[in-house]
Amino acid sequence: MNIKRIAELAGVSVATVSRVVNHPERVRDETREHVLSVMQQYNFTPNWFARSLNLESSNTIALLIPGIETDFFQQIISGVETVAGNKEYAVLFGQTNNYPTREAEFVDMMINRKVDGIIQVNSRLNGEETLLMQNLELPRVHIGKNRVCTSDTLCYVDIEEGARRMTRHLIELGHKIIMALFDEANSNTSEQAFAGINRALRDTGHTIIFSSAQAENSVRGGYLAVQRLIQSKSMPEALIAASDLQAIGAMKAARDAHINIPDDLALASLTDSAVCSVLSPALTALELPSKRLGMAAARMLIDQIEGTLPYVDMPHDLILQPKLKIRESCGNTQDIYEWFD
């Protein structure tokens, strides 16, 4: 008799049995009593439980991430590795490139390798693999706002609120024609940013003309997007880029066309990186707590694995707030480098 068999007989997860033994106060009364009765019926004791628990664990977690080219993703990886290393867990990586089929292949691979849990970043997964993870009760945390499974624990940055603050900042500086470039490969983040921008537009008492376009999330994508705007004579007064990479490309295209930033075009980015502060002009951007995001996701996952998270069967969401770092690229002449919350 082992932990897995007790969980099957009781009709609960392995993590729930773990909590009954280690943290009974965190388990609902009826569930706790039911599990204890099953343990008593089969003469299963906590000492044997602890030994069984250790034998079930591979001390390995998986991290499935769209890419590693942006500072945002790199910091998430760093955060996950920091916590996993401290807890003596190895991390297996899978780069999905935003392809659901590739992500599904990685999920199958990680399950076959008997990882203890999975962190998915901006998952596009659905269908059989999602049901498989749910049926196996494999601990998982999703970094991103979209819930792949009803039981998923979410951990994400409030991009909607950040985009609202950024748009409000542009409006307060007097910009009345605003455009946003959205990441064509990340519809979830784009939807959040769009919702935040719309909130700011609704809240203002001014008439603002707003438009948006899709672009590749790269320096090249930002450059080509601004080139198209110049050629079509449809340049806005202010441009919100999906990332600092897009913004750098936009800045280069504007400079090549002798468009001055910020006098002719205000420019801001929905992500920040070390390079933003050394650009000329320095780029106003959202600082996303991406390393904290990775650390939090890893902690939440390991808590599920080790049975220390209350009510693992219920989703627990963690929302982190971004900060707007006001610099010079939008025409601001006061409070440079001051945090704007």
Of 146, 66, 139, the residue nearest 98 (C-alpha): 66
Q: Tell me if 201 sits within 8 A of 208, measured CB to CB.
A: yes
Q: Tell me if 240 sits within 8 A of 196, measured CB to CB.
A: no
Query: Residue 214 is encoded by which pair of tokens?
Result: 């899709």
Query: Residue 171 is encoded by which pair of tokens?
Result: 């409006």
Of 115, 126, 98, 264, the residue nearest 184 (C-alpha): 98
pLDDT at 25: 61
- Neighbouring C-beta atoms of residue 337, cutoff 10 Å: 10
- Say which residue, 339 or 176, is predicted with more confidence: 176
pLDDT at 185: 77
Assign 30 a pLDDT band (cuts: 50, 70, 90): confident
pLDDT at 338: 45
pLDDT at 247: 97
Least reliable range by pLDDT among 59-63, 134-138, 166-170:
134-138
- Say which residue, 29 or 328, is predicted with more confidence: 328
Q: How far are the Cα atoms of 12, 152, 170, 184 from residue 330, in angstroms, in the given order?
A: 55, 39, 7, 24
pLDDT at 292 over 80: yes
- Say which residue, 98 or 341, is predicted with more confidence: 98
Beta bridge partners of 63: 93, 119
Least reliable range by pLDDT among 53-57, 63-67, 197-201:
53-57
Surface-to-core class of residue 231, CB atoms within 10 Å of its CB (0-12 exposed, 13-18 middle, 19+ buried): exposed
pLDDT at 142 over 70: yes
pLDDT tens per residue, range 163-187: 999 999 999 999 999 999 998 877 7
Q: How far is CA 287 from the centre of its chain?
A: 13
pLDDT at 339 over 60: no
pLDDT at 112: 79
pLDDT at 267 over 60: yes
Mean pLDDT of 116-131: 78
pLDDT at 151: 64
Fold: same for 58-158+290-320 and 159-287+323-340: yes
Distance CA 243, CA 190 (A): 11
- What's the pTM value of the predicted model, to 2 decimals? 0.75
- What type of residue sits at position 95? Q
Distance CA 248, CA 215 (A): 13
Mean pLDDT of 292-306: 92
Q: Tell me if 265 sits within 8 A of 259, measured CB to CB.
A: yes
Mean pLDDT of 115-121: 91
Class of the CATH domain delimited by 58-158+290-320: alpha beta
pLDDT tens per residue, range 224-234: 999 999 999 99
pLDDT at 195: 95
Of 67, 70, 65, 68, the residue nearest 285 (C-alpha): 70
Mean of the per-residue pLDDT values of the chain: 86
Least reliable range by pLDDT among 45-49, 57-61, 91-95:
45-49
pLDDT at 237: 97
pLDDT at 298: 95
Of 191, 243, 193, 238, the residue nearest 217 (C-alpha): 243
pLDDT at 340: 46
pLDDT tens per residue, range 73-85: 999 999 999 999 9
pLDDT at 46: 54
Fold (topology level) of 3-55: 434 Repressor (Amino-terminal Domain) (1.10.260)
The domain segmentation of the chain, as residue ranges, is 3-55, 58-158+290-320, 159-287+323-340
Percentage of the residues of the chain whose pLDDT score is greater than 90 = 55
- What type of residue sits at position 15? A
Among 2.60.40.150, 3.40.50.2300, 3.10.450.50, 3.40.50.11540, what is the CATH number of 159-287+323-340? 3.40.50.2300
User: Would you call 140 helix, strand, or coil by DSSP?
Assistant: strand
